[in-house]
Amino acid sequence: MRTETLLIGDRHITTADRDPFAVACPATLTPVAMVPTATEQDAYDALETASAAFNQWRQATASQRSNLLLKIAARLDEKADMLGRLMTEEQGKPLAEAIGEAEFIGEEFRFAAAEAERLNGEILPAPALDVDRFVRTEPAGVVVALPSSNYPAAIAARKISALLAAGCAGVIRAPEEAPSAAIFIVKTCLEAGLPAGVLNVLSGNPAGVTEALITDPRSAMVSFTGSNRVGQIVLGHAAQTITPALVELGGTAPLIVGKDTDIGHVAPMMVNKKHENAGQNCAAPNYALVHRDIYDAFAEAYWAAAQSIRVGNGRDADVTMGPLVSAAGATAMRQRVDALRQAGATLHQADAGLPSEGHFVAPTLATDVPSTSSLLHEEVFAPLMPMVAFDDIEEAVAIANKSPFGLAAYAFTGSQWEAHFIARELSVGSLALNKTGVGDIDAPFGGYGQSGFGTEGGRYGIDAFLRRKFVSMRYV
């Protein structure tokens, strides 16, 4: 079993220094790592260390930050296989999927390196010959970064690469279900030459450490990815000290399938998208709205493709879907399945052959779901797909817009008019039309409504960690 250490500056906090907590593999329920439990004092120490390091790091030139980010990317590339295996062990996703995530994060740092060279201010028109007016961009300060466990490397890397490119320092609170990826990334940054203290990483004691970090005046801003419930707690802490917050709180992404859709092509594509990471993806399709003319045919094709999914331990080569990361997630899915059954839905569920241990659930399709069901607008975070029939595109968009969440959506149509109608009228932050994928590295990612506010990704994500100062200067 591995033993992790937390990091404050160049000081490693071990399980001999703090009470340890066990991280269990969700496929076998056996402990795979012991991690020190951070204290509130550790949070204050980390902020003090980060504040001191920020005063030096902010002086680094754009080229210096860019070059270091490239070195970090190269190191992460070399270690992708190791990081991927850590994630499969702690988070449960299939090994090929985990290694793919680990390989992707090098791109996050390379993109941030390029953007670091392009951060600039603006010169405004002068009102008089002896006056200059300009806008300076400056790093916000010490960022409290709170990544989630569903993509423990990708989400942590996106926050870390952006805040470093902006010239900020950070304190990372790694998620307890799968902390090792964030710890791994922070230590790799330091190995590549990042000055000690610019990044610090804690885990354990989530309520106490999170409150201590956010409410401390040394925190310049907080960046959180997670559930709406925890997001409300984070925002409540931030409100106490008027700390700016960037929050991505999940969503209930609709999949709209028009009547002229190529069913044989789209149904398997969306099965793959839905079951990536066992459905534990804030941007995964949460439910399907299918035109009534093709409803039965699409449901049949979707279910046929879903039955080819191989559920099991992510370390096995033929497994395409691992367990959910927690027992609570598995229980929540079973409760939703029961609620849909009681509401009159028809359940298609292939649960034969599921491993007897671990947080495993079966791919499930629910048909004959009423469009008025409140379950459509609750984030599932599991491989459950409710399917609803609609008669025209206006009805489909109206159903989708009833959700208080608005993170992402997917739509397939051969009508140019329908495509533009959906793009204009659907209240979401990201939309994929006639394709999958809304997490492009150079694009903004954020939501409407209760999906949060602010954006990550691309230059927009780096911009979130910058402040702008207006200067109006008259020559003496």
Q: How would DSSP label each residue in 13-66?
A: E-TTTS-EEEEE-TTT--EEEEEE---HHHHHHHHHHHHHHHHHHTTS-HHHHH
- Give the integer Cα–Cα distance in Å for 348 and 323: 19
Residue 46, number of CB atoms within 10 A of its CB: 34
User: In the structure encoding, which two tokens stand for residue 206, read together?
Assistant: 């989530």
Q: Which residues face 338 on adjacent strands?
A: none
From 277, 257, 276, select the one nearest 267 (Cα to Cα). Answer: 257
The sheet carrying 199-203 orders its strands as: 11-13, 6-8, 199-203, 169-174, 142-146, 219-225, 245-248, 452-453
- Amino acid of residue 405: F
**Residue 189 catalytic?**
no
CA dihedral (280, 314, 203, 111) in degrees, to 10, reads: -70
Please state the separation of Cα 307 from the chain's center in Å: 27
């090792």: which residue's tokens?
A: 180
The reply to whether 248 belongs to the active site is yes
Catalytic residue among 4, 89, 177, 248: 248
Provide the pairing of β-strand 6-8 with 142-146: unpaired
DSSP H stretches of helix in 318-413: 327-342, 393-400
Which two three-digit tokens encode residue 134?
A: 């300009």
- Which residue is catalytic, options 25, 168, 189, 282? 282
Q: Where does residue 250 rank: exposed (0-12), middle (13-18), buried (19+ CB within 10 A)?
A: buried
State the catalytic residues.
Answer: 248, 282
